[in-house]
Structure 1
Amino acid sequence: MKFPAPLKTGHLVKRYKRFLADIVLDETGEEITAHCANPGSMLGLKEPGSKVWVSQSDKPKRKLKYSFEIIEADGALVGINTAYPNKLVEEALVAGKISELNGFETLRREVKYGKNSRIDLLLEGGEHSTTYVEVKNVHLMRQAGLAEFPDSVTARGAKHLGELADMVAEGHRAAMVFMVQRPDCDRLSLASDIDPNYAAAFAAAKAAGVEAYAVGCSVTPEAIEVNRTVALEF
């Protein structure tokens, strides 16, 4: 996934109200408010003074013309925009980078299923039965090399796990794909201390036959691209 235009650099003043970030642009010294497309806590990724990258929209009707895209943390560039993981996983699937999910004929996005939900990606035809794929963004790292999910309580995430288990019970495949938007992690675990209910829901879904995979990506100011698998430690 390439950014359509060069990103601008700056330094973070503060991230607040979940979806807002004040940033001083390096080029002009102007302090701007950027849209922060991330509903999580961004634990470890909101230190004031951190170097950041933002994109600029040319859409005249946008209230905030800048979007917070990348932050430098722990010596690495970390993607914080949670609008991208679905697209990144889709690109990886089409390129055959998640071998366990290869062999499908068609891919559809945001298909209604479950209880007023939409599955991120639906794989149909080919070698396997219909496969429901839920994608989760990951960027929390509290131990070197170990990514963790979630970074805040996610009742919605637990609900999705139950619905994936329901699809398995109906005879379909279901898979959770964790997208690690940072290059410095090669392992993934569940942050059960942050959300024990999610960890319990995941254990139940796994026992019901829901599959789990994790992939990592390179992050640069030019592009974010899936480039490796990440080992699961749960």
Structure 2
Amino acid sequence: MKFTSTLIKGKLIKRYKRFFVDIKVNNSKITAHCPNTGTMMGLLNPGNIVFVSKINDPKRKLKFTLEMIKSNNRMIGVNTHRANKIVLDGLNKKLIKEMKNVKEIKPEFKYSDDTRFDFLCDKNLLEVKNVTLLRSKDFAEFPDAITTRGSKHLIKLAESIKKGFKPFVLFLTQIEGINKFKIAKDIDAEYYKNYLKVKKDGVKFLAYRCKLNDKEIRIEKKIDIIDE
């Protein structure tokens, strides 16, 4: 997925009111939209290098959007609204090997009256989870906060097997250079419990990391999921 224009580099000042970040660009301060509802644990140290996009839309109060943060010498994509676009680009380019033979891709598939999944790929249901949590040099983790919605999706995915679907969860790891992934069971024990249960029931779990720079974010390679 290519950005429409090269991103602007700056330094993080602070995040506040959840959806706002102040950033120093050269000798000026700008305020950008923060498109991430998670805690962004470990990413918000003042002085971290950040990258923002700019949209000249008169209807928008904030012209800038936070896209990436450099933390512990790794680029990390934090715009959760980009995740499905990155995955769709990967599906179209056959970068997800489990889906390389898919003929039809339907984004935002309505599974039931109260549930949508990110993609239906032939008979494969695909739910995408954006991963930004890096608490050690070896492991990316999900989630970074309790996610009741995530647990609900796991249960619905397991139920879909009886209806003839093949369910997958893709942990889209927007962390440069990481090779291992695990569930953050100390943050959300319920999600971890449901993960183990539905895995036995037949839900498949995938983790792919991304390559990130100021011009594009794309799926790079599959990484290992470690159960501890």
Q: Same fold (TM over 0.5)?
A: yes
Q: 1:76: which partner in 2?
A: 74
Question: Which of the residues 104, 107, 122 maps onto 2:105?
Answer: 107
Q: 2:195: which partner in 1?
A: 202
- Local SS of the residue matching 2:81: coil
Percent identity over the alignment is: 38
Q: 2:155: which partner in 1?
A: 162
Is 1:30 equivalent to 2:28 in the alignment?
yes
Rounded to whole Å, the distance in 1 between the matches of 2:31 and 2:127 is: 31
Q: 2:46: which partner in 1?
A: 48
Rounded to whole Å, the distance in 1 between the matches of 2:113 and 2:182 is: 28
TM-score between both structures, scaled by the size of structure 1: 0.93
Gapped regions of structure 2 (runs ≥ 5): none
Equivalent AA in structure 2 for residue 21 of structure 1: V
Is 1:97 equivalent to 2:95 in the alignment?
yes
Structure 1 residue 115: deviation in Å?
A: 4.8
Is 1:153 equivalent to 2:146 in the alignment?
yes
- What is the number of residues matched between the two proteins? 227
Rounded to whole Å, the distance in 1 between the matches of 2:69 and 2:34 is: 11
- Local SS of the residue matching 2:135: strand
Equivalent AA in structure 2 for residue 116 of structure 1: D
Output the aligned Cα RMSD. Answer: 1.1
Q: 2:10: which partner in 1?
A: 10
Alpha carbons 1:23, 1:34 under 8 Å: kept: yes
Alpha carbons 1:114, 1:163 under 8 Å: kept: no
Rounded to whole Å, the distance in 2 between the matches of 1:186 and 1:136 is: 17
Structure 1 residue 17: deviation in Å?
A: 2.2
Question: Which of the residues 201, 214, 225 maps onto 1:221?
Answer: 214
Rounded to whole Å, the distance in 1 between the matches of 2:61 and 2:200 is: 45
Gapped regions of structure 1 (runs ≥ 5): 125-129
Rounded to whole Å, the distance in 2 between the matches of 1:57 and 1:96 is: 30
Alpha carbons 1:162, 1:205 under 8 Å: kept: yes
Equivalent AA in structure 2 for residue 101 of structure 1: M
Structure 1 residue 101: deviation in Å?
A: 2.2
Rounded to whole Å, the distance in 1 between the matches of 2:49 and 2:64 is: 15
- Local SS of the residue matching 1:100: helix
Which deviations, in whole Å up to 9, do the C-alpha atoms of 1:86-130 show, x marking residues without a partner? 111122222222222222211011121135121101111xxxxx1
Alpha carbons 1:145, 1:184 under 8 Å: kept: no
> Which segment is superposed worse, 14-23 or 209-218?
14-23
Rounded to whole Å, the distance in 2 between the matches of 1:143 and 1:72 is: 15
Equivalent AA in structure 2 for residue 213 of structure 1: L
Match runs of 1:103-142 below 5 Å: 103-124=101-122, 130-142=123-135
Which deviations, in whole Å up to 9, do the C-alpha atoms of 1:170-225 show, x marking residues without a partner? 22100000100011210100000001011111112112111011101111111111
Rounded to whole Å, the distance in 2 between the matches of 1:40 and 1:132 is: 24
Runs of 4+ in 1 over 2 A off after TM superposition: none
